[in-house]
Amino acid sequence: MFFVVVFLIIGNIGGGTGQKVTLSFWGVYDDRNAFEKVIQNFQTANPNIKIIYTLMPYEGYEKELVNALAAGTGPDVLMIHHTWLSKHGDKLIPLPAKIPGDKQPLMTIKTFRDQYVDVAYDDLVQNDQIYALPLYVDTLGLYYNRDLFNAANITRPPQNWDEFNTDVELLTKLDSYGNIVQSGATIGTAKNTNRSTDILMSLMLQSGTNMVDTDRTQATFSTNVDGMAVGERALKYYTDFANPAVRTYCWNDSQHYSVDAFTEGTAAMMINYSHQVANLNAKASKLNFGIAPLPQISNTDIKNYANYWAVAVTNKSQSPDEAWKFITYLTSKEGATAYLTDTGRPSARRDILELQKQDDNLDVFASQALTAKSWYQVDALAIETIFANMIDDVNFHRQSTRDAIQIAESKVSVLMSQQRDRNGQ
């Protein structure tokens, strides 16, 4: 795979007033157009700083980044997944308390908490130091086919999982051989359900599962909470949608990929992130779909699953103060508005969320950002694989639900132990 590597080009490194500094900025998913206006405005206000943005392929991005930093050819500014701080925090420079020559700090912990949604503080602040600032915060929403709902005489999308179960039964259609010809929802499997593991993790968090212990030394999602096996119940609930012996059976591994099935109109509901709006509009402009909040277990303890990227400064940067100046502008109300307008993503900033609640495509996701949750993951990609295998182990009857979740928990605990060993803890 070909990677474009931008080398740091700096004249008179040091970053003081009047000194020319060039900062390299690596990102994923977003092309330069997403940052064009922000970069131009920043460079106009800071003529001594030049920003060079490079879009990196998501596949292999993490490995390429680690290798580049080790070789001294990595970027000054980079996009990090919100789960990366535990794994890559040692490669970052936290926001300085004050920039030499500036009268005020770029940001304080208080202003961070005032400006951004709570999940960003939980993920990006450690030991009272800010390691990254969020570009946006996305959550899982419920996409539903209005035409299929109308045909089934369902007047509104489900608001909780009990209503979701009822709607799944009404919307799922089987032929005389028991084959699914219309799915109530694309849920229950691993490989052909887009974001399957995120959906399962969302169910676990909603049910009160403690994903890791308080010291963050081992996984605990199979452990009982108040005498109830909440994590195990969440796994069973999820996989039951792929179990022909259960009334809510609506999906299996022989179905088309979940996004394709929903696009084709053969699936009535799909749980996914906000970026699918643009995909659906591009692939199926005539599809009559709506977006509703993710069903909840509790009406009072609302929990939505977060997934987003943030921007940070590498410890290899020779101009970290200038890099942080750029990041704080990029994620300011002015900078973030330009970025979010181009990308159509839900904001991480509270002041912009109020405006996005008026957008038909973003109102659900904008509201859910305020109740977004995540959990401590030492290696998100490895954990995703572990959770997908756990789902398959249940669906293919390789393990009981209890054994599958305990095996997965053990594997995640091993990852956590290995991470501590690498950190010398």
Q: What is the residue-averaged pLDDT of the chain?
A: 94
Give yes or no: residues 291 and 345 share one domain: no
Q: Express each pLDDT in 341-362 by its tens digit.
A: 999 999 999 999 999 999 999 9
Answer yes or no: do 286 and 416 share one domain.
yes
The verdict on residue 2 lying in a domain is no
Do 176 and 245 reside in the same domain of the chain?
A: yes
Pick from 338, 356, 373: which residue ends a domain?
Answer: 373
Q: Please tell me whether residues 157 and 250 are part of one structural domain.
A: yes
330 and 346 belong to one structural domain: yes
**Residue 320, domain member (yes or no):** yes
The mean pLDDT of 199-203, rounded to a whole number, is 98
Q: Is residue 4 part of a domain?
A: no
> Is the residue at 3 inside a domain?
no
Judge if 104 and 125 occupy the same domain: yes
Residues 119 and 244 both lie in one domain: no
pLDDT digits (tens, 9 = 90+) for 393-409: 999 999 999 999 999 99
CATH number of the domain enclosing 130: 3.40.190.10
Give the tens place of pLDDT for each residue, 361-388: 999 999 999 999 999 999 999 999 999 9
Q: Tell whether 157 and 258 lie within a shared domain.
A: yes
**14 assigned to some structural domain:** no
Task: Answer yes or no: do 227 and 79 share one domain.
Answer: no
pLDDT digit string, tens, across residues 121-166: 999 999 999 999 999 999 999 999 999 999 999 999 999 999 999 9
Residues 277 and 197 in one domain: yes
3-state secondary structure the chain: CCCCCCCCCCCCCCCCCCCCEEEEEEEECCCCHHHHHHHHHHHHHCCCEEEEEEEECCCCHHHHHHHHHHHCCCCCEEEEECCCHHHHHHHECCCCCCCCCCCCCCCCHHHHHHHECHHHHHHHEECCEECCEECCCEECEEEEEHHHHHHCCCCCCCCEHHHHHHHHHHHCEECCCCCEEEECCCCCCCCCCCCHHHHHHHHHHHCCCCCECCCCCCECCCCCECCECHHHHHHHHHHHCCCCCCCCCCCCCCCCCHHHHHHHCCECEEEECCCHHHHHHHHCCCCCEEEECCCECCCCCCCEEEECEEEEEECCCCCHHHHHHHHHHHCCHHHHHHHHHHHCCCCCEHHHHHHHCCCCCCHHHHHHHHHEECCCCCCHHHHHHHHHHHHHHHHCCCCCHHHHHHHHHHHHHHHHHHHHHHCCC
Full domain range(s) for residue 117? 21-137+309-373
Are residues 361 and 408 both part of a single domain? no
Q: Is residue 8 part of a domain?
A: no
Question: Are residues 79 and 132 located together in one domain of the fold?
Answer: yes
Number of domains in the chain: 2
